[in-house]
Amino acid sequence: MYRTHNNGELRLKDVNEEVTLSGWVQKIRDKGFMVWVDLRDRYGITQLIFDEERTDKKTLELAKTLGREFVIQVTGKVIERQSKNTAIPTGEIEILVDKLTVLNESQTPPFTIEDNTDGGEDIRMKYRYLDIRRNPVRENLIFRHKVSMEVRNYLSKEGFIDVETPYLIKSTPEGARDFVVPSRMNQGQFYALPQSPQTFKQLLMVGGMDKYFQIVKCFRDEDLRADRQPEFTQIDCEMAFVEQEDILNTFEGLTRHLLKEINGVEVAKFPRMTYDYAMKTYGNDKPDIRFDMKFGELNDVAKHKDFKVFNEAELVVGIAVPQGNKFSRKEIDKLIKWMQRPQIGAKGMVYVRVNEDGTYKSSVDKFYDQEDLAKWAEKTNAKPGDLICVLSGNANETRTQLSALRMELAERLGLRNPKEFAPLWVVDFPLLEWDEETKRYHAMHHPFTSPKPEDMNLLQSNPGKVRANAYDMVLNGNEIGGGSIRIHDRKTQEMMFDLLGFTKEEAEAQFGFLMNAFQYGAPPHGGLAFGLDRLVSILGGQETIRDFIAFPKNNSGRDVMIDAPAPIDEEQLKELCLKTDC
């Protein structure tokens, strides 16, 4: 037996007990006549002591040869420490070592195994197994485990059944790009890895499973933006005989449960806002509502003067930055430059200082008087001491730019407190979005989303105006989940594929099995999927999903630790009837 206890559990009450411990050498202090070793494992650190008087010479000498990250086993007696360390739970005791065995040596690790390491991202990824030894990384993974377990147990108690759906499925050109898997037994044919188990969970509803969930890997072969992974994990759920309201309540319940159990935070009923409202008020469909800075539209009160920029703009819109008047001219100029970078692309920014005495000083005083500016302040809800930032131009672009500014300022002003949680629902998403490039409609959510019954009449005449029974759950400015009520009859589904530009033959070839299923008594159904990586990172008070994935891939989709992907044998290619052809 390698150990009687782990390194986190011994206390004063265990004094005089004979114990065996195993673990890694975290730290060695060698005073010559005395050696202390901090022994580490997943559960904590226990101090070992070797000394001239009480330890036999050979053991003391061996202790002096230990290096960082050596794996050792010791047997000894628990004794009370002379100088106690109140910072760790085992800090009142130490082990007077009798017997020391080196189980495995270690080369000097390429970075320090400490909470704050000297290792950069690249080297940490290459030696991820060493990175995982560090407390923050390990704790993140354990945190993820806790979240998954809570999710599973909550949903299981609510009657959801965990059903495993297949990973080797069929490629469909709709949506993102699939990863494909050549079939050797069916030569010239390919499986695809699922982007989500969407059609399968719908078929489970047709199959009467009633409530389904799965924590499942999904795959998308996309050019990777920062913090996207080619494989990611979804909490995938579906329910039959439900309306949107049932689904919102169920998953609001789950999220509230997680916030309470995992974070100890009680949240009130989630606010709901329409997609239109979110876009107009926050400039995006996943607003961070931990702070205010709502958009004030200024067209009515800014287009009556000689200021051409505003007069020619589709939209003039501003936000009041709390206590922003303390920004220096230089800081504001820098902010404007930041807004003008190509990533954001604002042409310029008008600002209004709201003085403590209620007067205004703006960058457009030439055009606007105090009375005008007072109206701007009213529309943006600005208070004395604030700074009003105003953008103008094409409505959509301007909103996106102002949203970026709002988030950046909130970050700088410390308004994005990771310990505060502000969930909400965004509802009434458009069913379709027009793609200028391909000159056709795309499904905003996916082709299985049902139009709102009251908008069905617009489906042929004005498809862009049709709203969907689709909803997103937003937490702290991130979309953590989204779903919809699905189409469950063949006719509507056919109409949808038609709108999306599928020929009848294409629709049949790709989704015939689903449309057939709808002819055999498909119940009304709907569902939702959470992005687990994102959810866990936000609950964990961080925004980088990579920190919550054991073995993430880099931005080129590579696992630099195992060096994958990699070339394969000619023999393997031959068996698959494939040739590389670049």
| Among 131-139, 295-303, 356-364, 440-448, the segment contacting a second copy (CB under 8 A) | 131-139
First to last CA, the chain: 56
Does 564 bind a second copy (CB under 8 A)? Our answer is: yes
Does 416 bind a second copy (CB under 8 A)? Our answer is: no
Does 163 bind a second copy (CB under 8 A)? Our answer is: yes
Task: Map the footprint of a second copy across residues 211-250, applying CB under 8 A.
Answer: 217, 219, 221, 223-224, 230-231, 233, 241-243, 245-246
Q: Which candidate, 582, 579, 471, 464, places its Cα nearest to that of 526?
A: 471
Q: How near is the Cβ of 541 to a second copy at its closest, in Å?
A: 20
Three-class secondary structure of residue 510 per DSSP = helix
Does 33 bind a second copy (CB under 8 A)? Our answer is: no
Which contiguous run of DSSP H or E holds residue 166? Answer: none
Q: Which is nearer to a second copy, 126 or 379 (CB)?
A: 126
- The token pair at 240 is 């039959």
Beta-bridge mates of residue 482: 472, 529
- The token pair at 288 is 């961070």
How far apart CA 36 and CA 57 sit, in angstroms, is 15
Candidates 82, 107, 343, 438; binder of a second copy (CB under 8 A) is 107
How far apart CA 90 and CA 159 sit, in angstroms, is 42
| Among 136-144, 315-323, 332-340, 445-453, the segment contacting a second copy (CB under 8 A) | 136-144
Q: Residue 481 CB: number of other CB atoms within 10 A?
A: 25
Task: Map the footprint of a second copy across residues 74-103, applying CB under 8 A.
Answer: 103
Q: Which is nearer to a second copy, 357 or 571 (CB)?
A: 571
Query: Looking at residue 326, what DSSP letter applies?
Result: G
Task: Map the footprint of a second copy across residues 177-196, applying CB under 8 A.
Answer: 177-193
Candidates 89, 92, 154, 167; binder of a second copy (CB under 8 A) is 167
| Among 133-141, 255-263, 286-294, 384-392, the segment contacting a second copy (CB under 8 A) | 133-141
Q: How near is the Cβ of 437 to a second copy at its closest, in Å?
A: 16
Candidates 11, 29, 42, 329; binder of a second copy (CB under 8 A) is 42
Compose the 488-527 pattern: x for residues touching a second copy by CB under 8 A, - for all others.
Answer: xx-----------------------x---xxxxxxxx---
How far apart CA 477 and CA 285 sit, in angstroms, is 9
How far apart CA 101 and CA 476 sit, in angstroms, is 50
Q: Which is nearer to a second copy, 115 or 575 (CB)?
A: 575
Does 139 bind a second copy (CB under 8 A)? Our answer is: no
Secondary structure of 72-96 in HEC code, one letter for each residue:
EEEEEEEEECCCCCCCCCCCCEEEE
| Among 251-259, 287-295, 298-306, 563-571, the segment contacting a second copy (CB under 8 A) | 563-571
How far apart CA 523 and CA 243 sit, in angstroms, is 11
Residue whose structure tokens are 């319940």: 253
Q: How near is the Cβ of 529 to a second copy at its closest, in Å?
A: 16
Angle at Cα 370 formed by Cα 367 and Cα 376, nearest 5°?
A: 85
